[in-house]
Amino acid sequence: MPVYPLIYFSPDGRNNGQMTWTYNQGIILSGLSGLYKFTGDEQLIIAGQNLIDSVLESYLVPSTSGILVESCDPFRSCDQDQWMFKGIFFQHLGYFLQDLAEIGQLRVTTRRGIVEKYIGFIQTNACAVWDIARQKDGKIGNWWDGPPGEEIRRQVSVETHGSGVAAILCAVRVGHLLDGFENSQDEGVK
């Protein structure tokens, strides 16, 4: 099954000119792990990892910060739907990693290694929500990568709060997964 760098990219790896949104990448992840549960096709898990790696290597995650952004964030031009996109990505990334952690056919060391591969990215984003996007009044804005504080007039709404909370909950979920691995025996088969 071929997997291309990001949704909305052409088969040869070039962007087809359409905007790439973070939620498109996220919802595919939980779909891949869900399909794996029914088919046992390891290529689905590999495809999920390739998709996560592609997001991390794309313009959606500037290398200087490691924080996920939407193209509209810095310009404060996102609409209410777009305010939720990063949160949707993190929610489904958490689902994918949770599903992966429960795959008994893989050794615990393999599962733990895959989860550990992404924990830094997840924690960086959760910390950015709390330390950068959260304003003095506790409101969470849409641009997690921007300068801290209120001086940049982040867009703030119930959707931006939900998105930020989803990133924080993903970090909590993955932290619990790693804690669970500490108490597991390596009984998987691969």
One DSSP character per residue, 61-102 reads: S-TTT-----TTTTTT---HHHHTHHHHHHHHHHHHHHHHHT
pLDDT single digits (tens) 54-94: 889 888 888 788 999 888 888 888 888 888 999 999 999 99
Token readout for 117 is 């591969």
- Please report, for the chain, the start and end positions of each structural domain, with discontinuous segments joined by +: 22-182
pLDDT single digits (tens) 100-111: 998 888 888 989
What CATH architecture does domain 22-182 belong to? Alpha/alpha barrel (1.50)
Q: Report helix, strand or coil for 189.
A: coil
CA–CA gap between residue 68 and residue 10 (Å, rounded): 22
Q: Give the pTM.
A: 0.87
CA–CA gap between residue 119 and residue 174 (Å, rounded): 7
